[in-house]
Amino acid sequence: MKTPDASGDSEDDPRGPRKPHVPEALPAGVTRWKCVCAYDGTSFAGWQSQPGGTAIQDVIEARIAQIFGGLIRINASGRTDAGVHAHGQVFHFDAAWRHGPEKLRAALRVGLPPGIQIKSVRAVTADFHSRFSAVGKTYVYHIHLGDADPFTRPFSWVIERPIDLEAMAKGAAVLEGKHDFRAFSALNGPPKEDTVRDLRRFDLVKRGKHVRITATADGFMYKMVRSLGGALVSVGYGNLSVEQLGELLKTGKRVARVETAPPQGLFLMKVFY
């Protein structure tokens, strides 16, 4: 565990089987636009479109419809659950726009609520796909030790009981690497997808009362990051040993002691292409 200051979660991406992406030819005059956005997920019903129109996808698509005069579907790198946040979610859409990416970004930003920000827009080739072209993602999970103020609580898992951070760091080292992570996903029933992932980075950094868990992998299964974070907290509480954590990797069977961490601490930081 790194401790620079001694004083002191798409994820949720039920991809299904991996498929090769077959590029579609775009109509004449139509451009594929790659967008990076940030959002505070507190007030939204997750990323994926919902019947009530309360998802982040719904809000962005409504703004795009206002600009272009009709519904245009967007495709994201993955889904995030209700309450999960993002600094670097990526989505794309196809539309005819002749005024350049910066003016498109400005047009998108004007009509969006303050909880959603379009950070960048650029034209890409037709073979780019936000989901299928991705080769990795980084998520960060935030934990706050002790009582938290109103500006920290909405974005952290607040833990007010003693916890062993050294044991958690040992647990993270066991989980880091290429493994079958079926026991750390929310998949149900018989295997329907490849559950092997390469968790290239999984570590803890403590600064004061703040603990940041960083997870970088070639991909994440449904609720995988929150399950990994919850498992580490179970180790920190003494409810699960580091050795038992390793056994879960071998058996692939989820147990009740693998808690799903609450959504508000999870941030999608970056998608790699």
Residues annotated as part of the active site: 81
User: Helix 242-251 and helix 165-175: axis angle, to 10°?
Assistant: 20
The C-alpha angle 180, 185, 191, rounded to 5 degrees, equals 65
Whether the Cβ atoms of residue 198 and residue 218 lie closer than 8 Å to each other? yes
For residue 13, the number of C-alpha atoms closer than 13 Å in the C-beta half-sphere is 29
User: Can you tell me the distance from the alpha carbon of 199 to that of 97, in angstroms, rounded to the nearest whole number?
Assistant: 39
DSSP annotation of 175 reads H
Structure tokens, 150: 């109103």
CA terminus-to-terminus distance, the chain? 28
> Exposed, middle or buried, 20 (CB in 10 Å: 0-12/13-18/19+)?
exposed
Whether the Cβ atoms of residue 57 and residue 48 lie closer than 8 Å to each other? yes
